[in-house]
Amino acid sequence: MTTNVARLSGDEWEAWANRLLSHHYGPTDYQRVPAKDRGDAGIEGFCVSKREAFQCYGCEEPISVDERYKKQRDKMTADVQKFIDNRSTLQQLFRTLKMTRWVFFVPHFDSKEIVAHAAKKTQEIIHAALPYVDDDFRVVVCQETDFAVARDQLINATSQGLRFKTSPITAEEVNAWTQSNDVMLGVLKGKIGKLPTLHTQAQRDTFVIKVLQWYLSGQALLERLRDYPQVYEKVIETKSHRETFLAMGSLHGSASNVVVMETLTDFKETLKREAKELHDFCAEQLAYEAVADWLIRCPLEFPEAASE
């Protein structure tokens, strides 16, 4: 079974994880270890008071439970070996500190096998007799929900919710998209042609550009939201759920312009309920992105009667 949940991966997950850990432990207690200068030596950072070293890893999703375990296992194996091999570098970082934990911090894990693998790696590190490892040392696995309080505090840092300012979409960006997506552009134009309120070709062409601006602007906002995984996942899940039932909207015989406005209003209100962390402006921008996306692709269809 594949888990269809959008989660951060790669550098994006590492950046978010470091923010989360710094907020949880405090910026003077959690020491981030930059990786740009000759690698990370098997850790992203460490907590001074707890003497816990962290390595963060987010694999590409969605994947099955078994695939996720194998990727996490292989990454843990490689980075534990770095933790052992980079003895001189780590000793300079830790000095007199002896680590009690090497924490493999991931967005999500769902196999007991990765916990068993961590126990195996614990023994390898202990047998290496490293000067920066304490007697009660263990390799453990943690996921984002284990830091839920810090996560929610970061997300709700502003009283009005998360708000981002995105740059206006330029004509060049719209043109670049149209040149690379001629099939989807044709689908969009076909649907726009069914809107009874647009009487001339010039009006229809102008509205096509407006829809593409909604789409590209919303896509840029979604990229910004990836720094806030919990909110990003809520948005994606809400959109996916609404998309599943879009076909029902075309069965009541309403004109195509009514279908568009009803879909837009309904999704915006749903998104405001499901992702309360968002500022109203962002919820509205994402609602327009969703409608634009559904117009560009096939989910949002219009009744044939609407074109008469």
**pLDDT for the residue 255:** 60
Of 2, 125, 5, 112, the residue nearest 55 (C-alpha): 125
**pLDDT for the residue 233:** 87
Residue owning tokens 């405001």: 272
Catalogue the long-range contacts made by 108-112 (C-beta closer than 8 Å, 24 or more residues apart): 108/5, 108/7, 108/68, 108/143, 108/144, 108/145, 109/68, 109/69, 109/72, 109/141, 109/143, 110/3, 110/65, 110/68, 111/65, 111/66, 111/68, 111/69
Angle at 184 (CA atoms; ends 183, 186), nearest 5 degrees:
65
- Rounded to 5 degrees, what are φ and ψ at 109? -135, 145
CATH numbers and ranges of domains, the chain: 10-154 (3.40.1350), 160-307 (no CATH)
How deeply is 170 buried, as exposed, middle or buried, from its count of CB atoms within 10 A (0-12, 13-18, 19+)?
Answer: exposed
Q: What pTM did the predictor assign?
A: 0.60
Sheet holding 99-106, edge to edge: 30-32, 45-47, 52-56, 99-106, 133-143
**pLDDT for the residue 112:** 97
pLDDT (tens digit per residue) in 80-97: 999 999 999 999 999 999
pLDDT (tens digit per residue) in 26-49: 999 999 998 765 556 889 999 999
**pLDDT for the residue 39:** 55
**pLDDT for the residue 305:** 43
- Rounded to 5 degrees, what are φ and ψ at 93? -75, -45
End-to-end CA distance of the chain: give it in Å, rounded.
45
* 257 neighbors 302 (Cβ within 8 angstroms): no
Dump the DSSP string for 251-308. GS---HHHHHHHHHHHHHHHHHHH-TTB-HHHHHHHHHHHHHHHHHSSSS---GGGG-
Mean per-residue pLDDT of the chain:
87
**pLDDT for the residue 166:** 79
* Low-confidence residues in the chain, pLDDT < 50: 1-6, 159, 251, 305-308
